Amino acid sequence: MENYTASNTAIYLIQYHIIWTPKYKRCMLVDELKNRLQQIIEEVCYENAFIIKALEIMPDHIHLFIGASPKMAPYKIVKALKGRTSHILREEFKELLKMPTLWSGSYFISTIGNVSAKTIQQYIEKQWKK
């Protein structure tokens, strides 16, 4: 049985699989940029009480599997992640300022329901093994 979270008014298990890409799907999420991106994602998740179940940063996209509160709308989760990471990375890596925007305007988000959380986690972890 999954680990449910309890608040004063609810018991819940809300999990999302989120994928987003750099603008023009550039293969740039490597080395120092990748490491810093992971740190920022972890900070944003900690500050917003999102529970990271799995995180994989590929050169041209990010897979994030998280648990979240029902008080946070899915689009706000993505906005918090993409907004903060873009702001900080563009400040710290000046070469990113050449791009009009760091992230593509689109993203994929899915609730976890039809497949088990373990299946999603294994899929994300196997991305590098292809």
Tokens 């603008």 belong to: 23
Q: Are 107 and 20 in contact (CB under 8 A)?
A: yes
Handedness of CA 87, 38, 80, 100 (dihedral sign): positive
Q: Has 12 been annotated as catalytic?
A: no
Q: Which of 4, 12, 46, 123 is catalytic?
A: 123
At residue 12, the pLDDT reads 84
How many residues are recorded in the chain?
130
Q: Are 29 and 125 in contact (CB under 8 A)?
A: no
At residue 1, the pLDDT reads 41
At residue 16, the pLDDT reads 95
pTM score, two decimals? 0.85
Alpha helices in the chain (DSSP H): 31-47, 74-92, 117-125
Mean pLDDT per segment of 10 residues, for the chain of length 130 residues? 75 92 94 98 97 96 95 96 98 95 95 71 70
- The CATH code of the domain at 12-129 is 3.30.70.1290
Closest CA to 18 of 36, 41, 39, 34: 41
At residue 124, the pLDDT reads 75
